[in-house]
Structure 1
Amino acid sequence: MRIAVVGGLAAGPAAAAEAKRQAPDAEVVMFEEGRHVSIGTCEIPYYIAGHLGGADALVVNTAEKLERSRGFEVRLRERVTALDARAGRLVVDALDYGAQREERFDRVILATGARARRLGVPGEDAAGVFVIRDLEDAQAVRLWLETESVRHVVVAGGGYIGVEMAEAVRDRGLQATILDPSGRVLNNTVACEASDLMDRAVAAAGVAVRAEKPTEILADRAGRVRAVRTDAGELVGCQMVVVSIGVEPRTELAVAAGARVGEMGGLAVDDRMKTSLANVWACGDVAEVPRAPDGRRVLWPLAPTGRRSARVAARNAASRGGRADTFRPIAGGVAVKAFGIEVGSVGLSLAQAADAGLDAVAADVRHWTRTAAFPGSCPIDVRLVVERGAGRLLGGQIVSAEGAALRADVLVPLVQAGATARELAEDLDLVYNPPVAPAVDPLKVAASVAVRRAGR
């Protein structure tokens, strides 16, 4: 059996390794059009800030190491340009040689990932305008910062990458401005509906957040960025722009082969990560996965989901008729730490619950991260989103200078299992230790409020 894995940055290596484990006698080949595989993209802002040393710190695995330790073949600088699922053929371009060939396969796993969204405004091709997606992007940004006279950086987008990039810029002693139409950071990515702690920390660090979006990028005579024009008619002078407005799945290969696309633009897959094409599975950022609270298929381009979906896709692709493996719905956990503040978010925000047609209420509390009298204890804001009547936990957001992300982790299995606020309030024995957590944890305090608000 010959299994092709298309894409090698995150989900691809996990899928190839799992396929080889499941079918040791199979020939597993992974195709990656870039020069690198298995890159730690979440570490990029810290590399740009200068905290991680050289670019090698971003390399999780090399092609040679994967081949030696996992037993599958890695083809770098080879782009799969066409897929014929019915005939079992791939068309592959060898980019370094300008050659094209056909390859046979029995089964294929698509891990083509996602690309960074562009602004789509005039002047976006000016020198000094960057997206943050791969190792080459990271190296280009750091080189620009180290060789150009950069004083002010405009970050388009206030999501978690935008916030982390603004912090990286400040850590280098530069001025940063975030442009986000909401006028807030983390408004759409890591919901902070009931807390202003991150907004206050960003402002205290001297980063301006403007409720505007770029409409044009202006360059000097040498083609280098010099300003951003916004939809408010303002000109914001700068010497660098970071575009961080999200990603879009790279579905072109599969769509051209006839694969079905889901509501959010990613590849539609079943619970076994199987696409609508014969003998073709998909995983990672390109595939839509179900979320636990409402079962809706969503794009969730984060590494833990990518690896989990890769393992399920690979087990089924490599199967010779055994029991099928299925993908459990995600809880949608995500966290960010910047400017001394942690934000953790799980499941649905109140706005997302309403959009999903769920009758939900929110319980908001401000408590303490440790016993209140203990040195170092600080405020923590907790919002739990629960279903009215049933009291089912739909999601939660936690914001504090400490302990927010790990408390969000507590919510993950509860949201996945459909647990209730009452179960959290009354049945879970969470840790109590004065230097670590108060006698009644902030999650339990919020859950008690949620029980009363939900009427159950």
Structure 2
Amino acid sequence: MRLAIIGGLAAGPAAAAEAKRRAPDAEVVLFEQGPHISVGTCEIPYLLGGHLEPETTLQVLTPEAMERTRGVTVHVRHRVTALDPRRSRLTVEALDYGSTREEAFDRFILATGARARRLGVEGEDAAGVFTVRDLVDTHAIQRWLDTQPVRHVVIVGGGYIGLEMAEAMRSRGLRASILDPNGRVLGSTVACEASDLMDRAVAEAGVPVRAERATEILAEDDGRVRAVRTDRGELIGCQMVIVSVGVEPRTELAAAAGLRLGDMGGVAVDDQMHTSARSVWACGDVVQIPRAPDGRRVLWPLATMARRTARVAARNAAGSASTRSADRFRPFAGAVGVRAFGVEVGSVGLSLSRALDAGFDAVATDVRHVSRTRAFPEAAPIDVRLVSERGSGRILGGQLVGREGAALRANVLVPLVIGGGTVRDLAEDFDLIYNPPLGPAVDPLKVAASQAMRDAG
């Protein structure tokens, strides 16, 4: 059997390695249009900010190591330009040679991922305007910072990447400004509805967050960026712009192959990561997957889900028909964490606004407690929001914000959101660690859950 994996980064290599484990005798071939197949993209802001050693490599796995240790054939700088499931053929362009060929495969796994969204405004192609998606972006940003007289960086988008890039620029001693229509950070990505701790930390670090949209990018005569114009008519002078307004799935290949797409524009798959074509599976940032607690299929472009979906896709694509039914993707809880400017945020499940949009009769409970016993001078406040269903008390989601102990505490909520646990379960049946320098006698989550029992009725 010949199995083609189309795409690298998190999902592609994970799928290729799992397929080879499941079917050792199969010929597994991975195609990636870029020069790298496996990169730790979440570390990019920390490398650019000087928090990691300059020689630190973000390559998790090189093509050579993939071939040597996993037995997978790897072709980098090879773009798959067409997928024909009916004929079981791929059309592949070798970018370094300008040649095109057709290859026959028995099965296919689509892992084309997502691309950084662009602003779609005039002047966006000016020199000094960057997105943050891969190592190519990273090296380009590093070269610009090393060779240009950068004093002020405008970051368009206040999600977790924009927030981390703002911290990275401040760590380099540069001015940074964030443009976000919400007028605050993390408004549309990691839910931070119940606390202003992160907003205050950003402001104290000297990073203004402006409730504005970029409408034009202006350049000098030599093509270098010089300013950003906003929807309020403001002109913000800068020598660098970082666009961080989310990603969109790369579905061109899937659409041209006739694969069915979902309502959010991603590839539609079943719980086995099977597409609408008999011989094609898909995984990673390109697919829509079911979230807990409502089961809606959404895009969730994070490495954790890329690897989970990749393993399911690979086990089914490489397995026999009799073994596939056992390998299914279960709804995910949407656990996300970020730390910047000395503040942590952890988010799991649905925010209040998303729960209401999903049709739940939801209620939010907000409490402030401490990270460890108050007798310790290092004890810091933690803001907790639990989102639960009125009447049943079912936990739909939660967010924690604080200077310590917030992000990883949110992991406690993952099994509750997935398994339909209630605020009563959390308040009365969960034994959470009590140790004075680690956590108070009554954990902030249990304090919130006790209050939520009253709020949710």
TM-score scaled to structure 2, two decimals?
0.99
Equivalence for 1:277: 277
Does 2:125 align with 1:128?
Answer: no
In 2, distance between residues paired with 1:52 and 1:135?
15
Query: Which letter maps to 2:89?
Result: R
Query: Which letter maps to 2:172?
Result: R
Query: Which letter maps to 1:331?
Result: A
In 2, distance between residues paired with 1:56 and 1:343?
26
Equivalence for 2:449: 447
In 2, distance between residues paired with 1:57 and 1:335?
23
Per-residue CA distance 1:44-77 (angstroms, 9 max, x = gap): 0011112223365211110011111111111111
Equivalence for 2:118: 118
Equivalence for 2:315: 315
Query: Which letter maps to 1:450?
Result: A
Alignment of 1:378-389 (within 5 A): 378-389=380-391
Does 2:196 align with 1:196?
Answer: yes
Equivalence for 1:374: 376
In 2, distance between residues paired with 1:9 and 1:317?
19
Equivalence for 2:95: 95
Equivalence for 2:235: 235
DSSP 3-state at the match of 1:215 = strand
Per-residue CA distance 1:347-392 (angstroms, 9 max, x = gap): 0000000110111000100000001111200000000000111110
User: How much is the aligned-residue C-alpha RMSD, in angstroms?
Assistant: 0.7
Per-residue CA distance 1:389-429 (angstroms, 9 max, x = gap): 11100000000011111111111111111100100000000
Equivalence for 1:428: 430
Contact 1:121 1:217 in 2 (8 A): yes
DSSP 3-state at the match of 1:57 = coil
Query: Which letter maps to 1:337?
Result: R
Equivalence for 2:152: 152
In 2, distance between residues paired with 1:10 and 1:433?
37
In 1, distance between residues paired with 2:237 and 2:91?
46
Equivalence for 1:303: 303
Alignment of 1:38-187 (within 5 A): 38-54=38-54, 56-187=56-187
Equivalence for 1:14: 14
DSSP 3-state at the match of 2:115 = strand
Equivalence for 2:347: 345
Query: 5+ unaligned residues in a row in structure 1: which ranges?
Result: none
In 1, distance between residues paired with 2:33 and 2:54?
23
In 2, distance between residues paired with 1:339 and 1:53?
20
Query: Which letter maps to 1:46?
Result: Y
In 2, distance between residues paired with 1:53 and 1:371?
36
- Aligned counterpart in structure 1 of residue 421 of structure 2, from 419, 422, 442: 419
In 2, distance between residues paired with 1:372 and 1:111?
49
DSSP 3-state at the match of 1:200 = helix
Does 2:277 align with 1:253?
Answer: no
In 2, distance between residues paired with 1:121 and 1:150?
22
Equivalence for 1:403: 405
DSSP 3-state at the match of 2:200 = helix
In 1, distance between residues paired with 2:56 and 2:177?
29
TM-score scaled to structure 1, two decimals?
0.99
DSSP 3-state at the match of 2:306 = helix
Runs of 4+ in 1 over 6 A off after TM superposition: none
Per-residue CA distance 1:206-245 (angstroms, 9 max, x = gap): 0000000100000011100000000000000000000000
DSSP 3-state at the match of 1:288 = strand
Deviates more, 1:405-414 or 1:175-184: 405-414
In 1, distance between residues paired with 2:377 and 2:392?
39
In 2, distance between residues paired with 1:70 and 1:37?
13
In 2, distance between residues paired with 1:50 and 1:60?
19
Contact 1:155 1:243 in 2 (8 A): yes
Does 2:194 align with 1:217?
Answer: no
DSSP 3-state at the match of 2:415 = helix
DSSP 3-state at the match of 2:38 = coil
In 1, distance between residues paired with 2:52 and 2:437?
30
In 1, distance between residues paired with 2:73 and 2:283?
19
- Aligned counterpart in structure 2 of residue 330 of structure 1, from 325, 329, 332: 332
DSSP 3-state at the match of 1:60 = strand
DSSP 3-state at the match of 2:267 = coil
Contact 1:424 1:444 in 2 (8 A): yes
Query: Which letter maps to 2:144?
Result: W
In 1, distance between residues paired with 2:52 and 2:60?
13
DSSP 3-state at the match of 2:417 = helix
Equivalence for 1:35: 35
Contact 1:386 1:450 in 2 (8 A): yes
In 1, distance between residues paired with 2:65 and 2:402?
39
In 1, distance between residues paired with 2:402 and 2:52?
25
